[in-house]
Amino acid sequence: MKTTIEIPDIITFTICTDHNYVIFSITSQNPGFIEWINDTPYVDYAIGELASPNTSHGKVLYEGTCTACHGSDGRQILFDGTLGVGGIARDEPTVEILHKIRSGQPGTSMPSAIVNGWSIQDSVDVLGYIKTLPD
């Protein structure tokens, strides 16, 4: 169920209990938005890693949506001239990368999993898969 609470001209909260997230839009900064997800079921905080990614499902999603830009080995776009998307996914905090996959990369044409209607588990699966790609 999705509930929207609007404080006119200031802020709008959208609470989605099906997919476990809250989006708030600050009207004055529209279309900017910040999204929080409750990542508790998806992340093992003790080790800072995904709890249970389905990497074979993640591979299917990656090949359908991400290879066009990142390449099948994740090294078509290099970050700081060295690391591919696999290296970045291992180096940076899991929750941060999960958030980027869900929200998109600011200032780029990278698609957002939320806009594409993916579940949180879909993004978890893709992230689990990209962590298996070479540096």
CA–CA dist 87, 103 (Å, integer): 20
Residue 102 interacting with ligand HEC (CB under 6 A): no
Residue 111 interacting with ligand HEC (CB under 6 A): yes
Q: Which is nearer to ligand HEC, 85 or 120 (CB)?
A: 85
Residue 126 interacting with ligand HEC (CB under 6 A): yes
Count residues binding ligand HEC (CB under 6 A). 21
Q: Which is nearer to ligand HEC, 5 or 68 (CB)?
A: 68
Two tokens at 135? Answer: 């540096």
Residue 105 interacting with ligand HEC (CB under 6 A): yes
Q: Say if CB 14 and CB 24 are below 8 A apart.
A: yes
Residue 66 interacting with ligand HEC (CB under 6 A): yes
Q: Say if CB 42 and CB 121 are below 8 A apart.
A: yes
Three-state SS at 30: coil
Applying CB under 6 A, among 28, 30, 40, 108 the residue interacting with ligand HEC is 108
Q: Find the helix or strand (DSSP H, E) in which 114 lies.
A: none
Min dist CB 28 to ligand HEC, Å, is 27
Q: Which is nearer to ligand HEC, 28 or 109 (CB)?
A: 109
The torsion angles phi and psi of 107, rounded to 5 degrees, stand at 75, 10
Q: How far apart are the first and last CA of the chain?
A: 40
Output DSSP code: residue 34: E
Q: Which residues bind ligand HEC (CB under 6 A)?
A: 65-66, 68-70, 77, 79, 85, 88-89, 92, 97, 100-101, 105, 108-111, 126, 130
